[in-house]
Amino acid sequence: MSKINVPAEQQRLDSRHADLLVLGGTLLTPNGAERTDVACLNGRIVALGALASTWTAVDILDATGLHVLPGVIDSQVHFREPGLTHKETLEAGTRGAVLGGVTGIFEMPNTHPLTLAPEDLQDKLDRARGRAWCDHAFYIGGSAVNAELLPQLETLPGCAGVKVFMGSSFGDLLADEDAVLRNILRNGRRRLAVHAEDEARLKARKALVEGSADVTQHTVWRDVHSALLATQRILRLADEAGRKLHVLHVSTAEEMALLARHKRRVTVEVTPHHLSLCAPECYQRLGTLAQMNPPVREQRHQDALWQAIAQGVVDVVGSDHAPHTLTEKAQPYPQSPSGMTGVQTLLPMLLDHVHARRLSLQRLVDLTSAGPARIFGIVGKGRIALGYDADLTLVDLAAQRTISNDWIASVSGWTPYDGVTVTGWPVHTVVRGQPVVRDEALVGQPTGQPIEFLDAQASN
C-alpha cells in the first residue's frame, strides 16, 4: 500500500502547531468585537477560537487586556526615496509605520526620479526588499508622457494604482489640463487617486502671500475655491469617462457636500491632521510645521469632515506622511515647503479620537483596514479571518502616552504632535505572522513584501 505524502504545512495544521499564537485579546473581526485567540501559520490566519489549551506555537503573544485590530493600512505616504533621502527613506518610513501599528503602506510617485515607468516602480520594489518593515505598494504617476501605457502600468506587481496631481506638483507629474486628464481617465480600469487643487488658481493667488512671511495666510492662498474647482472638474471628467475616483485629503465642507452626491463612483480620504488640527490656532502654535497642501482649515471644515465620517461619506483615513527637514521648514513662508510626518502618529491620533468618542473602534477599523482593502482590491488583507494575511495591530485603549519628537523614526525627526498626550496606543505589530514591534519596541528584521491586488476588472 503506497504512503500518502501530506504537505508539511497541512501536517502542522492538523497537529495544531502554529508559528504564532495571539492569546486572550479582544479581536475586531467581521463579526464584531470578540474575546478569542488567533493562530498564525506561514504568514496567514489559520484558526480562531479558544486555542490556548489545544494549540502549541513557536511564539506566543499575550494579548490580555488588548484589542487586536486587522493590520492598519496607510494608503498615502511619501517616503522620498529615491532622490530625497535627506528627508526620509523606505527603511525609516516603514520603521515608523510599524512602531505606529501600521502593517501596510501605499507610497506616492513624486520622488526623484518620478515614478512614471516600469523601471521606476521596479527600482522602488528593489530598494524595499530587505529594508521595508511592513508590506508596501507604490503608485505610478499619471501623466501626459505615460497616459497610453497606464492600462499596463497599473497592473504591474506592487503597483497601488495611478495617482494624478492636478496641482501642487512639478514637471511631468503635473496634470492640470483637461486634455491630459481625459487621456489619463480613459486609459485604465483601476480606481484613480487624485490630488485636487486648481493649479491655475493657485498660481494666480500666490501673489497674495509672497513676501508675507505669515503662514496663517496659507488658507488664503490655497483657499476653499481652489480645492472645490479642481474636485468639480475631475468629477465631471471622470463621469464622462466612466472612471472610478479616489479623492485624496479632502479638506473642505463644500467638497464633502459635493462628494456625497457622487458616492456610487467616488471614494473619499481624509487625514488625521485635518481631523485634529484647526486654523488659525495650529499656525500660531506650530508655524510652518502645520503647513500642508491642501491646508489645515477652520473649525467649520473640520466639523464637516467628522460629519462625513459619521454619515459614511469618508472611506479611508490616510496620513499623507510627507516629511521635510526642520531646516527646510524654517524658511520664511511661502518658501517653506508643505508637508509633515504622519504615518507613525496616524493610529495614536485616531485612537485618541476613539477615546474622546468622536469615532467608534469598529469605524476606525473600517477606515484604516477594511476600507482600503475593499476600495483598492487588496488581496488577503483588511480583516481578521481565516486564510487572510496575519497582519495584526494590538492596541491598549487605556494607555496614555505623550507623543514626542524623540519617538519619531522618520529621518526628519519631528512631529506636529510633539508634546500631545493621547489615550490609546499600539503595543504590538504583527506583519504576516511575525512580530516586528513587541511591547512598543522594534524586534526582528525588516521582512515586508509587496502588497497584492485583485485583477483590475474585479476591483470595486
Q: Which residues pair with 442 in a beta bridge?
A: 437
- Which of 175, 159, 158 has the alpha carbon at shortest distance from 167? 175
Q: How many CB atoms lie within 10 A of CB 30?
A: 11
Amino acid identity at 78: H
Helix 90-99 to helix 118-128 angle, to the nearest 10 degrees? 60
Check if 320 is active-site.
yes
Question: Which of 74, 135, 320, 352 does the annotation list as catalytic?
Answer: 320
**Rg of the Cα atoms in the chain:** 22
DSSP assignments along 354-407, one per residue: HHTTSS-HHHHHIIIIIHHHHHHTBSS-SS--TTSB--EEEEEEEEEEE--GGG
Could you tell me if 71 and 431 are in contact, meaning their C-beta atoms sit under 8 angstroms apart? Answer: yes
- Which of 74, 85, 82, 65 has the alpha carbon at shortest distance from 25? 65
Task: Please give the angle made by the CA atoms of 185, 82 and 147, to the nearest 5 degrees.
Answer: 15
- Residues 376 and 221: their CA atoms lie apart, in Å, by 33
Active centre residues (catalytic): 320
